[in-house]
Amino acid sequence: MIGAFIDGPLWYFSLTVFLLGVAWRLAGIVRRGVAADLAPARGDAARGALRTIFTRALPRRPVLHGGRVQMIAGYLFHLGLLVLLLFAQPHVDFYAERIAGFGWSTLPHWGFILASEIAFAGLILLWIYRVMNPVTRLLSGFGDHVASLLVFMVMFSGCLALGQSHEALRLLHLFLAELLLLYFPFSSLMHTFTFVLSRGYTGAAMARKGVNA
């Protein structure tokens, strides 16, 4: 009974909350707008925005210094997670059945495992770094810890369900993923989408001022 609830209503509810919540948050940010910059423009804001969105993917050298492990772990985690979220065969099957109605090409199983190894290594390293480093620890609020714990639990339960043979394990994974979806729009996990806005804003503002940043 609880399985049917997790598999049916709760899934659709959390998906709706996720979609509406993300839309609402993004709309809120966009609607606030940007304070008019009255100074004469010294560069093209749009081009600067576009450029910064991509160039910020690599930290500057002074930032990189001393934070190399963090950057490597960050890339491992985010790329691994993205790959296994979008191209793992059980996930694609699920999307095809529940959302899209069609599937797409998937990773071979060994690629899936490799992606999970990479994502786990990154996540654990980042998590330890977060609680170990005084700066990140003080920066992290309760919500951030909930978010990283939820992400870890979702990934971990997914790893436990890799045998794809026990319905209970699949439901546990699905339930935790639903909790994550419910929590997502109201947490710092929104950086998945808002990083474009923040980087774009910075890039636009700087480019308009003629600053090469």
Q: Residues interacting with another protein, by CB under 8 A?
A: 69, 108-110, 112-113, 116-117, 120-121, 124-125, 128-129, 132-135, 137-138, 156, 159-163, 165-166, 168-169
Q: Residue 158 phi/psi, 5° resolution?
A: -65, -40
- Which lies closer to another protein via its Cβ, residue 136 or residue 194? 136
Residue 172 beta carbon to another protein: minimum distance, rounded to whole angstroms: 9
CB-based contacts of 71, cutoff 8 Å, min separation 6: 59, 64
- Which lies closer to another protein via its Cβ, residue 107 or residue 182? 107
- Which lies closer to another protein via its Cβ, residue 47 or residue 166? 166
Q: State how far the Cα of 59 lies from the Cα of 52, in Å rounded to an integer.
A: 11
Assign 3-class secondary structure to 51-81.
HHHHHCCCCCHHHHCCCHHHHHHHHHHHHHH
- Which lies closer to another protein via its Cβ, residue 9 or residue 143? 143
Residue 31 beta carbon to another protein: minimum distance, rounded to whole angstroms: 31
